[in-house]
Structure 1
Amino acid sequence: MKAMGPIPAGFRASDDGSLMVGDWRAPDLVAAQGGTPLFAYDRAIVKAQAARFRAAMPPEVALHYAVKANPYAPLVKALAPLVDGFDLASWRELELVREVAGWTLPVSFAGPGKPDFKPDLQAARDLTVNLESEGEFDRFVHGGSDRFAVRVNPPFGLKGSGMKMGGLASQFGVDHDRVPALVRRIVEAGAEWRGLHVYAGSQSLRAEAVIEMQRATVALAGEIAAEVGLTPPEVNLGGGFGIPYFAGDKPLDIGAVSAALTETLSARPVILRDTKFVIELGRWLVGECGVYLTRVIDRKVSRGKTFLVVDGGLHHMLAASGNFGQLLRRNYPVAVAHRFGAEPEEEVSVVGCLCTPLDLLADEVMLPRAEVGDAIAIFCAGAYGLTASPQTFLSQGAAREVLV
């Protein structure tokens, strides 16, 4: 038997023992949506996460949603009144945000290898381009209508993070010692300098690591500002807030992070006194709201081991298969949807419908007995799920999505 991660708070069982997603019993939701595989997102969980952030964090810290975590249009629309801006990583994300939220909130565009910008969009009132290199500035600069922030490749990373994005040679950002020169070029070209963007890592559950990263980021922003001789209008502190996926994971202590950040900002360098600060979050806001529901289509025993073969797979939920950044494969939280909370009865492996041994969604976990036709629920599917998976792999069918 192998352990599973903790099922996120906010999910409960109905009177008949079925998993509830929002106000829906999972079997009813599947039927209403036309079947499985289905990603279901609970808006109440997202709203609660945003409220937790607001209650904990210093009021001067703005909250941005990193759309790459989950660009499902109804979810992005639901987030618009809950956040202060959107951080984007592609043209499609930009067009999506413009369609569902207009230009009502500030947006920033980050990522290496950006495509050429359409003049009407680059001139949009609240679009900031986060420059990843001096070459991007040369490509995008036109003059007074341009708005640039500089993404900084810091001399530090987020310790213990799932994905380190600072403190090493990187395609992300401008090395910190070259940033002042680029800021001067922006100003001399007559463009608007919007500030600095520092993203040192992601998926950390260690409050002390996030605290240390935020302190170092504020100090680095102060050093860069002092060398340039200008106050950055905004400093994006990045994110890095993780969620529990695996056995033994504990939630990030937001209270400790908030208390330390309040102290850090109150003692920030004088040149940053009028600077606005932003935290961009994707996974932490939406990761726990999502459930991937997939139906058992075969139950088989091979050499004494029981397999539940489902109609979904890694082409929809790559991360649960362990092929999205895990060094050692571990199990996401999993349940039998119509027997939610029932006592485990048997050890099974949940495998997808793809013709590859990589398509393993849960390995040797203890679950209540499930038969052909029953739905398996895989949790923590709200971020880096469908759009972070190879949806056309082996030409399998598409998954449905719904926000409830």
Structure 2
Amino acid sequence: MPMSASFKDRLFPRIPAIQQQFQTPFHIYDEAGIRETGATLIKAFSGIPGFREFFAVKALPNREILKLMKEMGFGFDCSSIPELIQARELGAKPEDIMFTSNNTSQEEFEFAAKDGGCILNLDDISLIDKVPVFPELICFRYNPGPRRTGNVIIGNPEEAKYGVSHEQVVEAYRRAQARGAKRFGLHTMVASNELDYTYIVETARMVLEVAEEVEAALGIQFEFVNIGGGFGIPYRPEQKALDLPTMSKEITAIFDGFRARHGHAPAMYMESGRFMTGPHGALVATAINSKDTYRKYIGLDACMSSLMRPALYGSYHHIDVLGKEGVEASEVYDVVGSLCENNDKFAIQRELPPIEDGDLVVIHDSGAHGHAMGFQYNGRLRPKELMLRADGRVELIRRAETVEDYFATYNFEPSVLKP
């Protein structure tokens, strides 16, 4: 199942009381599940010296979630100034932060260099001359282009806007050396929500082969390679989970082989977001309307400003109707929100138990790229976020947006450019 049995068993009996205190809609996250996944990841790659996870902040940029990541010893993969601010406010040191941006502005470069800087991960060879103060430690994002078949979700690498091409990669490090770089990392990101572990194994093999090529050409030694994120989660009940034990065993063997050939091996970093938090979150909403026209519709008090993945990607999110988990799925519904957009749907032609106004609907796997991708179109506001703590407490960790928030950007000093 998409949501773990443990999370479901601890959450579902509490939902009526949670609804009474906090009101729907809300996202709720499972501290125990997140910590368990983090511990599993650390154990899986313990055979690679220097292994480290840099949590992809964009997946779930909530301060309390980021605190959990820091407590587990993880770094942060950031791609904007607000994400850098959050990481630094939590006490992240320069080498706890990977700044992986694209089409980076001078303002962003300057901010990234503050407070001792960060691990700067450049997306393009043209950016080398645009970095105001070039750091001693530099990383480049590698795009293999036609050398690699694209992951179904992220697309073919040669069509992606990200990264330095294979033909540019040696020259990129040569130019970085000319600007004073003395320490080096290498990064790639060629998969998203990948459940075939062999694809990620081959990604690790690929990035080490590129490291070998650059080291041979320039005589440098990489401190780390970052295989990116892309570890998938089973959104559908019938899908099998990623085979992490086999994957980690095979990747560890590849690093061991590199070490045997060269007498050294880089550390391995990764930047999993979805894998860390995706299954450990749910969006809970109330059914407030039903409509029977050409289709049967169930309207919720949440809309795609709370979870836009189904509208954006056609993504499947499993749905439970609280108290009706054992009831026959005898109805076929489109489960929808209230936006003036016809793609404002959480599910299309989904077989579900009969739903009545007032029923509580649980939408699984909202723990990554859920609340974070919210927006304010149509004046619809983003919901609150809650945490189910390991000790059973339920805590508000971000309030819902308000109408005052929506109008706050009208509070400014007048500014006019005269003719």
Aligned residue type for 1:347: V
> TM-score, normalized by length of structure 2?
0.84
Post-superposition offset of 1:341: 4.9
Q: CA 1:160/1:104 → structure 2, altered by over 3 Å: closer, same or farther?
A: closer
Q: CA 1:274/1:365 → structure 2, altered by over 3 Å: closer, same or farther?
A: closer
> TM-score, normalized by length of structure 1?
0.87
> Does structure 1 retain, via aligned residues, the 8 Å contact 2:2–2:365?
no
Post-superposition offset of 1:6: 4.1
Alignment correspondent of 2:392: none
**1:4-403, aligned counterparts within 5 Å?**
6-13=2-9, 19-20=12-13, 25-33=14-22, 35-57=23-45, 58-60=47-49, 61-103=51-93, 106-116=96-106, 117=108, 119=110, 121-125=112-116, 127-143=118-134, 145-155=135-145, 156-157=147-148, 159-164=150-155, 166=157, 168-246=158-236, 248-268=238-258, 270-271=261-262, 273-303=264-294, 305-321=295-311, 323-324=312-313, 329=314, 331-389=316-374, 391-403=375-387
User: Any stretches of 5+ residues in structure 2 without a counterpart?
Assistant: 389-419
Q: Secondary structure at the match of 2:216?
A: helix
Post-superposition offset of 1:345: 4.4
After superposing the two structures, state which structure 1 stretch, 207-216 or 365-374, moved more.
365-374
Q: CA 1:100/1:142 → structure 2, altered by over 3 Å: closer, same or farther?
A: closer
Give, in whole Å, the separation in 1 of the partners of 2:2 and 2:112: 43
Aligned residue type for 2:341: T
Q: Deviations over 1:104-155 (max 9, x none)?
A: 8610111211122464740544601111112211111425x55321111124
Give, in whole Å, the separation in 2 of the partners of 1:9 and 1:358: 31
> Does structure 1 retain, via aligned residues, the 8 Å contact 2:309–2:370?
yes
Aligned residue type for 1:27: P
Q: Deviations over 1:192-243 (max 9, x none)?
A: 4331111122111011222222212211221122112110111111122111
After superposing the two structures, state which structure 1 stretch, 248-257 or 333-342, moved more.
333-342
> Does structure 2 retain, via aligned residues, the 8 Å contact 1:46–1:286?
yes
Q: CA 1:91/1:120 → structure 2, altered by over 3 Å: closer, same or farther?
A: closer
Tell me the number of residue pairs that the alignment of Structure 1 and Structure 2 aligns. Answer: 383
Q: Secondary structure at the match of 1:78?
A: helix
Q: Secondary structure at the match of 2:366?
A: coil
Structure with larger RCO (C-alpha < 8 A, sep 6+): 1
Give, in whole Å, the separation in 1 of the partners of 2:378 and 2:187: 39
Post-superposition offset of 1:165: 6.1
Give, in whole Å, the separation in 2 of the partners of 1:108 and 1:339: 45
After superposing the two structures, state which structure 1 stretch, 368-377 or 340-349, moved more.
340-349
Q: Secondary structure at the match of 2:222?
A: coil
Q: Secondary structure at the match of 2:209?
A: helix
After superposing the two structures, state which structure 1 stretch, 307-316 or 121-130, moved more.
121-130
Aligned residue type for 1:32: Q
Give, in whole Å, the separation in 2 of the partners of 1:104 and 1:316: 33
Q: CA 1:341/1:125 → structure 2, altered by over 3 Å: closer, same or farther?
A: farther
> Does structure 2 retain, via aligned residues, the 8 Å contact 1:319–1:385?
yes
After superposing the two structures, state which structure 1 stretch, 96-105 or 48-57, moved more.
96-105
Q: CA 1:91/1:11 → structure 2, altered by over 3 Å: closer, same or farther?
A: same
Alignment correspondent of 2:413: none
Q: CA 1:48/1:250 → structure 2, altered by over 3 Å: closer, same or farther?
A: same
After superposing the two structures, state which structure 1 stretch, 262-271 or 275-284, moved more.
262-271
> Does structure 1 retain, via aligned residues, the 8 Å contact 2:48–2:255?
no
Aligned residue type for 1:19: F
Give, in whole Å, the separation in 1 of the partners of 2:318 and 2:94: 37
> Does structure 1 retain, via aligned residues, the 8 Å contact 2:279–2:365?
yes
Q: CA 1:379/1:131 → structure 2, altered by over 3 Å: closer, same or farther?
A: same
Q: Secondary structure at the match of 1:291?
A: strand
Q: CA 1:113/1:119 → structure 2, altered by over 3 Å: closer, same or farther?
A: closer
> Does structure 2 retain, via aligned residues, the 8 Å contact 1:335–1:376?
yes
After superposing the two structures, state which structure 1 stretch, 118-127 or 81-90, moved more.
118-127
- Normalized per residue, the structure richer in helix is 2
Q: Deviations over 1:3-43 (max 9, x none)?
A: xx7444433346xxx715xxxx122223322x122111111
Give, in whole Å, the separation in 1 of the partners of 2:279 and 2:336: 22
Q: Secondary structure at the match of 1:11?
A: helix
Q: CA RMSD in A?
A: 2.4
Give, in whole Å, the separation in 2 of the partners of 1:313 and 1:272: 55
User: Any stretches of 5+ residues in structure 1 without a counterpart?
Assistant: none
Q: Deviations over 1:135-180 (max 9, x none)?
A: 211111425x5532111112444654421363x1542111122122
Aligned residue type for 1:396: R
> Does structure 1 retain, via aligned residues, the 8 Å contact 2:29–2:280?
yes
Aligned residue type for 2:376: T
Post-superposition offset of 1:353: 1.1
Post-superposition offset of 1:337: 2.7
The percentage of counterpart residues that share the same residue type is 25
Give, in whole Å, the separation in 1 of the partners of 2:60 and 2:53: 16
> Does structure 1 retain, via aligned residues, the 8 Å contact 2:3–2:280?
no
Post-superposition offset of 1:93: 0.6
